[in-house]
Amino acid sequence: MTRPRKPEAHPEAHPEAHPEAHPEAATPAPADADAAPRKLVVAISSRALFDFEEENRVFETADDTAYMQLQLERLDVPAPPGVALQLVRKLLAFNTSERERDRVEVVLLSRNDPVSGLRVFRSARHHATAIERGVFTRGRPPYHYLRALGAGLFLSTNVDDVRAALAADFPAAQVYPQSVRAGEAHPHEVRIAFDGDAVLFSDEAERVYQREGLPGFTRHETRKALLPLPPGPFKPLLEALHRLQQASTSGAVAMRLRTALVTARSAPTHERAIRTLMAWNIAVDEAMFLGGLDKGPFLREFQPDFFFDDQTGHVESAARHVPAGRVHSGVHDKP
């Protein structure tokens, strides 16, 4: 499983000779054996969970009164699945019994009004998605409830809410509602793919690339190959997924978890990314060092339930094949 964070998408370096010397490698931090298992709380907006695009067009062209009336008229009509529904349902499958139901919780955190929230809860029940808690703010930013909820991930279609959540140190991504829905090829396995820089890792290396271009980036990363990258905004989520993966490999749950690092890095800059994960005591199941190739076709083959990246181009490419969202973090994010 993986738990890396990387700076925003940075160019991929083409293979070059490894430098003769690297700085000393950091000693991996020992796992905290005494730490109590922590629940992963996923906060999600209504449009990220269900397909409310038709209703949203009414909201954008009229006012919230017309939108509320439409939702009320459709109260008994289950909303179609949204981009992140399959991810949420699979994560909830880690709650295997009354005794072991605290591994994952999904809560609604939405700009919807409370009346429209009735339809959201009913739709969740229709799709056999166990959601009991919800906060509805009728157009006001909801992100400030993340701390009270103990959220470990926030998924929303609203870019301002996502940026605010990331600024408050919560892993968050803007769900692209036009994304292709997740496939059904792996019903008993959660598959999640991450970009590295500015997502799992900080954007330190990407900033070097912006200043010095590919040659400077390659020199910087090969020189620091043994020095772990600073963590990015999604390292905490990777750690939480690692705990879930341990539960699945122990046989405690039937659902499995598979992670992938999908990055523009290539040899020799790949080494620092791998060594960073080693220093974190986290292993991803797959790693793709694509050196500038389009990520979309590779993600189509991996078939993730969700892909996180910090660059618009990569997310748009991915969204043609898989569910995807943008992490508005690092040097590439300009409001």
Tell me the CB-side half-sphere exposure of residue 79, using CA atoms within 13 A: 31
- The continuous run of DSSP H or E covering 219 comes out as helix 204-223
Angle (nearest 5°) at CA 160 between 326 and 181:
40
CA distance 246 to 3: 13
- Is residue 64 part of the annotated active site? The answer reads no
Catalytic pick among 113, 195, 310, 333: 195
- The continuous run of DSSP H or E covering 92 comes out as helix 85-92
For the record, the structure tokens of 197 come out as 């820089």
CA distance 56 to 45: 13
Contact 284, 4 (CB under 8 A): yes
- The most distant pair of C-alpha atoms in the chain lies apart, rounded to whole Å, by 69
Tell me the CB-side half-sphere exposure of residue 249, using CA atoms within 13 A: 10
Query: Whose structure tokens read 């739709």?
Result: 123
Q: Which amino acid is at 135?
A: V
Contact 276, 228 (CB under 8 A): yes
Please state whether beta strands 324-326 and 172-175 pair in parallel, antiparallel, or not at all (unpaired). antiparallel
Contact 87, 190 (CB under 8 A): yes
- Active-site positions? 195
